[in-house]
């Protein structure tokens, strides 16, 4: 599902860019806070969705991007952390989780800036939700990061991702005029932190308390690992508990 979401985002970007409908889609399918808060109405030619369905733009906005750098940055986050979160939830639950984080990100942005007429677009809020979920699942895993944007360091995820989320919160509080929606990042991240506990498989622990080795991984003979989840407790890839 992670690869599918990335493919959909890429396909939508190039389809809109090549057909010249990117600006139209940003207004018609992006999430405009003033419209979602019933303070404005879209021009009739921009109203692809009926008023009663305008809330759907909180999700459709997550599949629209301003340029290639915007798209690449969001997809990099999704590709880096998405598969691990998907493993913990199953395919269908992960899709629901991703869309719920996108919705929460758009809602919090509209709540924070209710009179804004600028459309919110981009998958960064949903990707922030994936980051929040990864932090809850695998805080002890080590990931590469660029210290001061230049020095590569391999650090525990709890340091890197807690620092990243903290930075989003600080920027949300001090920089409300930037084109980047820090509010969407904060809303998505907190949604991910909350939802992962509700949507993960029952057999999957939080905070790396138990090591779960994916079936595709081959361990060296004699490898010593902490206790693992028993095979009988594994769930189906779609998120439902498997009958054994």
What are 175-227's pLDDT values in tens digits?
A: 867 788 999 999 999 999 999 999 999 888 888 776 655 554 565 666 665 55
Nearby residues of 97 by Cβ (< 8 Å), 6 or more positions away: 85, 89, 129, 133, 192, 195, 196, 199
Q: What is the pLDDT of residue 82?
A: 94
What value does the mean pLDDT take over residues 145-153? 62
Least-confidence region, from 84-88, 116-120, 136-140, 154-158: 154-158
Q: Where are the alpha helices (DSSP H) in the chain?
A: 2-19, 22-28, 33-36, 57-60, 68-89, 91-112, 124-137, 157-174, 182-199
Q: What is the pLDDT of residue 44?
A: 82
Would you tell me which CATH number, out of the four given (1.10.3720.10, 1.10.1740.10, 1.20.1540.10, 3.30.360.10), belongs to the domain 2-209? Answer: 1.20.1540.10
pTM of the entire predicted model: 0.83
Question: pLDDT confidence of 242, banded at 50, 70, 90?
Answer: very low
Q: Give the three-class secondary structure for 241.
A: strand
pLDDT tens digits, one per residue of 169-178: 999 999 867 7
What value does the mean pLDDT take over residues 143-149? 62
* Domain locations along the chain: 2-209
What secondary structure does DSSP assign to 62-83, as a single string?
Answer: GG--SSHHHHHHHHHHHHHHHH
Average pLDDT, the chain: 85
């Amino acid at each position: 599902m992670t690869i599918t979401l990335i493919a959909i985002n890429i396909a939508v970007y190039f389809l809109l860019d090549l057909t010249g409908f990117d600006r139209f889609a940003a207004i018609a399918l992006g999430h405009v806070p003033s419209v979602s808060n019933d303070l404005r109405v879209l021009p009739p030619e921009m109203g692809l969705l009926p008023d009663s369905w305008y809330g759907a733009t909180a999700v459709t906005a997550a599949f629209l991007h301003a340029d290639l750098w915007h798209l690449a940055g969001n997809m990099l986050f999704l590709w880096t952390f998405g598969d691990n979160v998907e493993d913990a939830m199953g395919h269908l639950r992960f899709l629901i989780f991703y869309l719920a984080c996108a919705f929460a990100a758009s809602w919090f942005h509209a709540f924070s800036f209710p009179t804004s007429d600028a459309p919110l677009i981009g998958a960064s809020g949903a990707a922030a939700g994936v980051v929040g979920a990864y932090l809850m699942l695998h805080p002890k895993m080590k990931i590469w990061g660029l210290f001061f944007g230049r020095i590569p360091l391999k650090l525990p995820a709890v340091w890197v991702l807690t620092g990243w989320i903290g930075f989003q919160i600080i920027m949300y509080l001090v920089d409300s005029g930037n084109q980047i929606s820090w509010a969407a990042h904060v809303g998505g991240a907190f949604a991910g932190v909350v939802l992962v506990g509700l949507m993960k498989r029952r057999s999957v622990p939080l905070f790396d308390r138990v090591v779960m080795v994916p079936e595709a991984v081959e361990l060296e003979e004699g490898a010593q690992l902490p206790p693992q989840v028993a095979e009988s407790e594994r769930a189906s890839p779609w998120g439902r508990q498997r009958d054994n």
